[in-house]
Amino acid sequence: MTALDLKDAESFPSRRDEDWKYTDVRRHLRAAPEPSPAVGVHGAGPFFELGGEGLTFVNGAPLGVDHFTAFGDQVVRLRFVSDATGTGHGATATVGVRPGGHLTLLESHEGHGSGYVAHNRLIIQVPSQARVERIVLVDEPEDVISVTQAEVTLGEGGAFSQTVLTTGAKLQRIETRLKHPGHGAVVRIDGAYSLSDKRHADLTTEVDHVGADGLTDQLTKGVVRGEARGVFQGRIIVREGADGTDARMGHHALITSERGEVDAKPELEIYADDVSCAHGNTVGALDESALFYMEQRGLPTDEARALLTEAFLMQVVDRIGHEGARERARAWLTERL
Amino acid sequence: MLSISNLSVTVADKPILKGLTLDVPAGEVHAIMGPNGAGKSTLGYALAGRPGYEVTGGEASWRGEDLLGLEPAERAAEGLYLSFQYPVEIPGVPALTFVRAAINAQRKARGEAEMTATEFLKAARAAASALKMDFDMLKRPLNVGFSGGEKKRMEVLQMALLQPSMLILDETDSGLDIDALKVVADGVNALRSPDRSMLVITHYQRLLDYIKPDRVHVLAGGRIVASGGPELALELEAEGYDKFLPEAA
């Protein structure tokens, strides 16, 4: 498959592409959309209060530079703002950090308007002994199509952590691909989706262990209501020679309605010896005995359900390392439950 | 007064309670004893409104208010408290957060002002101390990883904070060693008062040495088949339940 290019309808993936089986772009988008107009920026973004440097794209156009390299210990707010109706746009941003540095990447996808198509690409460079923590909040209208693709390169002894929180869209895919060099490098790659109505969110990740003794820890959780659809595709590859790899993947989803759907495809491909890999995948309803217990103590049904759902998803938020971002993410998600 | 009249309950279409009649006047503690499978826990769940426990006949009221038409949370706000035989683990919800939410939900339902965080913490510290519980445990998710004894203390701690008027204790002694049993019983006894009633469900007489009942009832085959004073419990302990079992069994 050729890389997705909004200008070329031939490049739109469909369910015939195994990796896009549950997120059929071609079905929803027959032709290349007209380009989105250049517009001004809205608001200050959900991470404004946490300070740091800003890197902003509006309808695909950078306000200033389109790349950033952090020195020492820095916070960067990366904003992908969409403000369009029925048109399409995309951008490619590059962020990195110097060896030994520490970057907190606070990324937001802020959607205004309706019916737009967004395709944003992100290249993240984490060299040896550097650390990057990426926290992504995705808030888009219910009738838009958006695809976000991140490529992460990680050096030996480096650390990359990621937490994606999303409420979905008409068709939404958030994809992260990472080559894991092992040798002391550590990866945490988490996500949570909270979907209502007819929304769709697809969290796809691929972690490719090419060096020995790499560590990967993945936790994705989701709640699906109404006719919404959650998709989790997690692939962990352990190449020949990547001995001593320790990889854990968990995906757990709640479906709270008759017509909600969750498609989960956890994959472990192991070609090395002496590895420790595990995955767990559960899809179910809220625990009825817990609900009754809570109601017996006086919590009305809706409140009990909300408290249980919130607690379920917050286990993902609790793993965010940056304290300010963690509390911001917690508040953001609470407002959207 | 708790008044139960001719109550019939089915679980998965199987009749469990078959016309149970029982009154517990205000201020009294009544024990329900009976063999396994007699319907003791079903009585507690049916009064609390657990889904799946279908009332097919009869009535139950508390202080004149019909309980059976109310949602579980409404029954709780009316003062009904069921202490679970197996308290449920609530992952991700700290015990303190949960209990405060429960208190304020009940207060809201009754049209009362919410308890402030300061008032609540003070009350929670006092209750934990009385039950010899480490206060830090209350910051952990409710019942998750708690031992059997800790879960039962947690049930009594919630009683102390929620101050219900009608308590149903379902096998509160199960899983407790003798020291824990004394602590839990002291906690329950501290709640005895002229305007509070208790229904103590137990298989063994042991608990009744510590929580002394005014009346003892024998539940067998879905009905109350005998009632008496505290001496009835001793008689059951000595002679067993055989003479109360339905002949068909």
Q: Which residues pair with B62 in a beta bridge?
A: B2, B65
Q: Is residue A255 part of a domain?
A: yes
Average pLDDT, chain A: 96
Per-residue confidence (pLDDT) for residue A145, from 0 to 100: 98
Q: Measured between alpha carbons, how far is B217 from B215 in angstroms, rounded to an integer?
A: 7
Enumerate the residues of chain B whose CB falls inside 8 A of the CB of residue A303.
Answer: 101, 105
Judge contact between A139 and A111, C-beta under 8 A.
yes
Domains present along chain B, CATH in parentheses: 2-93+164-244 (3.40.50.300)
Per-residue confidence (pLDDT) for residue B246, from 0 to 100: 62
Residue B31 has pLDDT above 90, yes or no: yes
Question: Do the Cβ atoms of A295 and B99 come within 8 Å?
Answer: no
- HSE of B88 in the Cβ direction (CA atoms, 13 Å)? 18
pLDDT in tens, A296-320: 999 999 999 999 999 999 999 999 9
Please give the structure tokens belonging to residue A3. 């890389």
Per-residue confidence (pLDDT) for residue A3, from 0 to 100: 86
| ipTM for the whole complex | 0.96
Nearest to B92 among A297, A298, A315 (CB): A315
Nearest to B92 among A289, A300, A314 (CB): A314
Q: Is residue A78 part of a domain?
A: yes
Q: What is the DSSP track for chain B?
A: -EEEEEEEEEETTEEEEEEEEEEE-TT-EEEEE--TTSSHHHHHHHHHT-TTEEEEEEEEEETTEESTTS-HHHHHHTTEEEE-SSPPP-TT-BHHHHHHHHHHHHHHHTTPPPPPHHHHHHHHHHHHHHTT--GGGGGSBTTTT--HHHHHHHHHHHHHHH--SEEEEESTTTT--HHHHHHHHHHHHTT--TT-EEEEEESSSGGGGTS--SEEEEEETTEEEEEESTHHHHHHHHH-SGGGS-TT-
Residue B248 has pLDDT above 50, yes or no: no
Interchain contact B115–A (C-beta under 8 A): no
For A287, nearest residue in chain B (alpha carbons): B90
For B88, nearest residue in chain A (alpha carbons): A290
Judge contact between A293 and B84, C-beta under 8 A.
yes
Enumerate the residues of chain B whose CB falls inside 8 A of the CB of residue A289.
Answer: 88
The domain total for chain A is 1
Q: Is residue A2 part of a domain?
A: no
Residue A53 has pLDDT above 90, yes or no: yes
pLDDT in tens, A135-145: 999 999 999 99
Nearest to A290 among B49, B88, B105 (CB): B88
Nearest to B93 among A288, A300, A307 (CB): A307
pLDDT band at A1 (very low <50, low <70, confident <90, very high): low
Closest to B249 (Cα-Cα) out of B46, B36, B32: B36
Task: Please state the φ and ψ torsions of residue A263, each to the nearest 5 degrees.
Answer: -115, 120
Question: Do the Cβ atoms of A293 and B84 come within 8 Å?
Answer: yes
Nearest to A298 among B50, B51, B73 (CB): B73
Enumerate the residues of chain B whose CB falls inside 8 A of the CB of residue A297.
Answer: 76, 81, 98-99, 102, 158, 162
Mutate which of A254, A294, A313 to disrupt the B interface (most B C-beta within 10 Å)?
A: A294
Tell me the count of A-B CB pairs closer than 8 A: 78
Judge contact between A38 and A25, C-beta under 8 A.
no
Q: Is residue A209 part of a domain?
A: yes
Residue B42 has pLDDT above 90, yes or no: yes
Nearest to B76 among A298, A311, A315 (CB): A298
Per-residue confidence (pLDDT) for residue A56, from 0 to 100: 97
Per-residue confidence (pLDDT) for residue A61, from 0 to 100: 97
Residue A129 has pLDDT above 60, yes or no: yes
pTM assigned to the model: 0.86
| Cα-based torsion angle of the residue sequence B29, B35, B41, B47 in order, rounded to the nearest 10 degrees | -60
Per-residue confidence (pLDDT) for residue B142, from 0 to 100: 96
Domain that residue A131 falls in: 9-334
Q: Is residue A1 part of a domain?
A: no
Question: Do the Cβ atoms of A298 and B89 come within 8 Å?
Answer: no
Identify the burial level of A11 via C-beta atoms within 10 angstroms of its C-beta, where 0-12 means exposed, 13-18 middle and 19 or more buried. middle
Q: Is residue A4 part of a domain?
A: no
Judge contact between A289 and B50, C-beta under 8 A.
no
Q: Is residue A3 part of a domain?
A: no
Q: Is residue A233 part of a domain?
A: yes
Interchain contact A333–B (C-beta under 8 A): no
Mean pLDDT is lowest, of A63-72, A131-140, A202-211, A246-255, for A63-72
Distance from CA of B75 to the nearest CA of A (A): 8
* Interfacial B residues in 17-76 facing A (CB < 8 Å): 48-51, 71-73, 75-76
Interchain contact B91–A (C-beta under 8 A): yes
pLDDT in tens, B110-159: 999 999 999 999 999 999 999 999 999 999 999 999 998 899 999 999 99
Distance from CA of A230 to the nearest CA of B (A): 22
Give the 3-state secondary structure percentages of chain A, helix then strand then coil, rounded to 5.
15, 50, 35
Task: Please state the φ and ψ torsions of residue A50, each to the nearest 5 degrees.
Answer: -85, 0
Please give the structure tokens belonging to residue A120. 């944003």
Per-residue confidence (pLDDT) for residue B249, from 0 to 100: 43
Q: Measured between alpha carbons, how far is B144 from B154 in angstroms, rounded to an integer?
A: 11
